[in-house]
Amino acid sequence: MRILRPAEGRGPLYRLYSSRLRRQIHPGSVPHHVAMVIDGNRRWARQLGYDSVAHGYRAGAAKIMEFLAWCDELGIKVVTLYLLSNDNLRKRDSAELADLIDIIADLAGDLAASGDWRVHHAGRPDGLPETLARALREAQERTRTHTGLHVNLAVGYGGRHEIVDAVRRIIVKHDESGGTLEQLAENLTPEAIGEHLYTGGQPDPDLVIRTSGEQRLSDFLVWQSAHSEFYFVEALGPDLREVDFLRAIRDYAKRDRRFGG
């Protein structure tokens, strides 16, 4: 696991370095699925002296649009974004949470209007404010037939809850079919649980990136990230640059992935 401190500058030398990084990344080595935790939005707002952390959340949302464009341009097929956890819903200040909910709803609408990207809500809709739940439903429905970059929005999400929900779905389906307890135990396999996750039918993430220097999962894709590679960037979310992203992809391409070892 590496933490990189981003270098300063976005002039000619920055563009030259960015081009060099792109040349070092072979198309065949690009991850299929990238998961992303854009962390540090609140710290960013406080460091810049804003009176409301909502400024940080808005800057983080703008960075997400940039990040997805970078992924799309590089040929990544699936991106999962950690936007709002179950813990956030319980613990955040009500005014701060209200701002965040509005920003995520706007982001979902912007994503649905962005070319051929397909939006999928990964999380529990119950417990979300109706305005946000509706925005996520509409974005998902509006983009259902799109064939471009697949964007999972982890909202009202918790990895442990996801596993519990998957097992519950398996039990309900088994009960409806009239199966026995013994048959249920026999059929409860990792593959069966994987099929009933919020991301069922999708490949697990090859690479998980987190900004702000924090080195933890925070209950994000607990099941799916069992064999993922991890990359930590010290830059706060809104300060993430394309070269930071390209370094992460280059680093991933150089790793010798040893599943289970």
pLDDT exceeds 90 at position 252: yes
The larger pLDDT score, comparing residue 239 to residue 5, is at 239
Q: Which percentage of the chain shows pLDDT scores above 70?
A: 95
DSSP 8-state assignment for residue 3 = E
pLDDT exceeds 70 at position 71: yes
The larger pLDDT score, comparing residue 138 to residue 91, is at 138
- Strand pairing partners for 230? 208
Residue 73 has what pLDDT?
A: 96
pLDDT exceeds 80 at position 7: no
Please state, in angstroms and rounded to a whole number, the distance separating the CA atoms of residues 118 and 149.
Answer: 6
Q: What are the tokens at 213?
A: 């220097």
Residue 259 has what pLDDT?
A: 64
Residue 1 has what pLDDT?
A: 37
- Domain ranges, ordered by start, for the chain: 30-157+204-254
Section 230-253 average pLDDT: 97
Superfamily for the 30-157+204-254 domain: Decaprenyl diphosphate synthase-like (3.40.1180.10)
Please state, in angstroms and rounded to a whole number, the distance separating the CA atoms of residues 233 and 4.
Answer: 5
pLDDT exceeds 90 at position 260: no
Residue 185 has what pLDDT?
A: 93
Residues involved in catalysis: 39, 88
Please state, in angstroms and rounded to a whole number, the distance separating the CA atoms of residues 202 and 41.
Answer: 28
pLDDT in tens, 184-206: 999 899 999 999 999 999 999 99
Strand, coil or helix: 164: helix
Please provide the average confidence, as pLDDT, over all residues in the chain: 93
Question: What is the pLDDT confidence band of residue 6, given thresholds at 50, 70 and 90?
Answer: very low
- Strand pairing partners for 70? none
| In contact, 206 and 231? CB cutoff 8 Å | no
For residue 44, count other CB atoms closer than 10 A to its CB: 24
pLDDT exceeds 50 at position 168: yes
pLDDT in tens, 107-124: 999 999 988 999 999 999
Please state, in angstroms and rounded to a whole number, the distance separating the CA atoms of residues 202 and 220.
Answer: 16
| In contact, 255 and 229? CB cutoff 8 Å | yes
For residue 260, count other CB atoms closer than 10 A to its CB: 5
Strand, coil or helix: 160: helix
| In contact, 154 and 82? CB cutoff 8 Å | yes
Section 228-239 average pLDDT: 97
Residue 3 has what pLDDT?
A: 37
pTM value is 0.92
The rounded Cα 94 to chain-centroid distance in angstroms is 24
Residue 261 has what pLDDT?
A: 57
Residue 39 has what pLDDT?
A: 96
Question: What is the pLDDT confidence band of residue 92, given thresholds at 50, 70 and 90?
Answer: confident
Residue 127 has what pLDDT?
A: 87
Distances (CA, A) of 258 to 195, 206, 238: 23, 12, 33
